[in-house]
Amino acid sequence: MNYQLEELLICVIARLLEADPAVRHVAVGAASPVPGSAVLLCREVTGGRPRASIIHGETNNPFTDGAREIFDCAGQGRIDVFFLGGVQIDGQANINLVGTVGEAGYPEIQRRFPGSFGSAYMYFVVPKVILFRPEHSRRVFVDQVDFISAPGVSEPDVHRPGGPKFLVTELCLMSFDAGRKRFRLESVHPGHTVEAVLDNTGFDFDMAENVPTTPEPEPERLDLLRTRIGAEIGTTYPGFAARVFGVDVQAMEARAI
């Protein structure tokens, strides 16, 4: 069955959420339609778990005061999973959301980005952070980030209940071992190879002798995505729903009137 890359990534993330029964509440930041769709798919498949808080638009957004509420909720231990990305990510799961430096090094800023916002805070307090960065290249996955917006690991005497657990990209799924301070390649997506992952990753990582292929999306899940999930996420991200799932949210709303 044919499917879009985004549909594969949604299913990969949804399976990670389904596999952990302790995941009760997942929060998704702004401009994150793939993670948002994955949470909704997981909730549909499991019959109601987890609670989904999508911090964009109004649908599935329980917060009325933006970041202050979500930070407070996370600090109280009431968010089990959050998603983070980065301009750069290195082998110790440090993420950079500030910018990249030129050949002369700091303080020369080659490109500046919006900034870290609450990434470091969420990285420390949310028990399971899934790193999501569709582009898999040496430009993104570097040996050492230019700036550490949020550190992947902390010293043993630092109280840190949260941290990175997985990394999902266009090429593969990786897990992260905080004790070893290293990623491990868990599976390679269909149509790609271990060699492609090695060639496009700027840091070393662990892997088994035979790395499995990521399971493709099941037909029943694709059907859910292209109907119920697509319609629901489309109220928040109509362009994404139309492009990936072929859902015309405006037409659906017009028929419902």
User: Are 197 and 188 spatial neighbours (Cβ–Cβ below 8 Å)?
Assistant: yes
* DSSP code per residue over 104-140: T-TT-EEEE-S--TTHHHHHHH-SEEEEE-S--STTT
Q: What was the pLDDT predicted at 256?
A: 47
pLDDT tens profile 215-229:
999 999 999 999 999
Q: What was the pLDDT predicted at 210?
A: 97
Q: Is the peptide bond before 238 cis (omega within 30 degrees of 0)?
A: no
pLDDT tens profile 199-219:
999 999 999 999 999 999 999
CATH topology of domain 5-256: Glutaconate Coenzyme A-transferase (3.40.1080)
Joined together, the tokens standing for residue 88 give 């750069």
Q: Is the pLDDT of residue 189 over 70?
A: yes
Q: Is the pLDDT of residue 60 over 60?
A: yes
For residue 115, the Cα-to-chain-centroid distance in whole angstroms is 18
Q: What was the pLDDT predicted at 257?
A: 45
Phi, psi of 203 (to 5 degrees): -130, 160
Q: Is the peptide bond before 107 cis (omega within 30 degrees of 0)?
A: yes
Q: What is the pTM of this model?
A: 0.94
pLDDT tens profile 118-140:
999 999 999 999 999 999 999 99
pLDDT tens profile 69-128:
899 999 999 999 999 999 999 999 999 999 999 888 888 888 888 888 899 999 999 999
Phi, psi of 132 (to 5 degrees): -130, 115
Q: What was the pLDDT predicted at 250?
A: 66
Phi, psi of 135 (to 5 degrees): -70, 125
